[in-house]
Amino acid sequence: MNLSDIKKNKFWLSIGGIIFSMIALYLLFVNPFRLKNIKKAETIENVLARLERYERQGVKLLNTKWIKAEEDKLEKIKEIRREYEVFYKEQDRHLEKVFTSVNGDEINDEALWQNRYIQEVNILQDKMRNHNIALTENTLPFKEWKVVIPTWEDIVPEQKRFWIAEELINIILKKEMNVRYLESINFEKEKELHANAHAELFGFIPFSIKIKMDAEGLLFLINEFSKSEICFEIETINVSGELDRRRSPKGAEKSYQPLHINNIQSPSMVDVIIEAYVVDFKM
């Protein structure tokens, strides 16, 4: 081999070495980098496609601080909800209770409840007689079960109406009221109140009461409603002056007591009609 051949071989060996180095460089560095960039590009495209999809769906993208703030807010809302549930239960405690037996346990037998109901009604009627308040046999809104034993579906609303009627009677029996005549206490089952946007939280038990009393007791009457354990909401109070005729209940022989109309008629006596309702919480 002469010198020229050696030079030619070195040239081609150099060319081959350069090509091999370039191939090795491509395989070891350039190609992985290219593949990595392609993968990044695909990832970015997927992210962008997902963001566009979220945008079309109206989804909000929040950072970690925002998410933490939202979680704290939700926890605060739960805490407040627990507080107002306790408040509602306390406000509704008097209305939701059931007659108890002699040992203090709630009565859960329908027949025993019925007997206790009749006893409690008789006690309230005796109270009215003992306080000299005139009324007729059908004035009080208590149900007559007769021989029928009520079901709990009937008992639950009737128990609530009893507590309301009992509270109303206890109010008008107070000396400061000077109530002389109870015309009626009516529960208006069919009356539609204003729309209730929070029906899942509470309902309404509407009623009306008509009495004849001394005008000086009106403020005491309103005050007793406001501080009652039962959540009364008064819609209207109508007050009129002395009647132009003597008010004598029909069927005087069936009344619980003789009516001394001459004692009722007085310039200071007024007729009061209260339309109201009780808030019945469901918590």
65-102 residue pLDDT tens: 877 888 888 888 888 777 767 776 777 788 889 999 88
Pick the CATH number of 92-281 from 1.10.10.10, 3.30.70.60, 3.40.470.10, 3.40.640.10: 3.30.70.60
Per-residue pLDDT of 25-79, as tens digits, reads: 555 655 566 666 667 767 777 777 776 776 676 666 667 887 788 888 888 888 8
The residue with tokens 């997902």 is 50
The type of residue at 73 is: K
Per-residue pLDDT of 169-219, as tens digits, reads: 999 999 888 898 999 999 976 455 555 656 677 788 999 999 999 888 899
Q: Please, how many CA atoms are within 13 Å of residue 236, restricted to the half-sphere of its CB?
A: 7
The rounded distance, in Å, linking the Cα atoms of 261 and 248 is 7
- Quote the pTM value: 0.64
Provide the pLDDT for residue 207: 94
Provide the pLDDT for residue 244: 40
* Pick from 141, 99, 96, 103: nearest CA to 116: 99
The rounded distance, in Å, linking the Cα atoms of 120 and 5 is 131
Per-residue pLDDT of 249-258, as tens digits, reads: 444 444 434 3
Pairing of strands 232-240, 202-214: unpaired
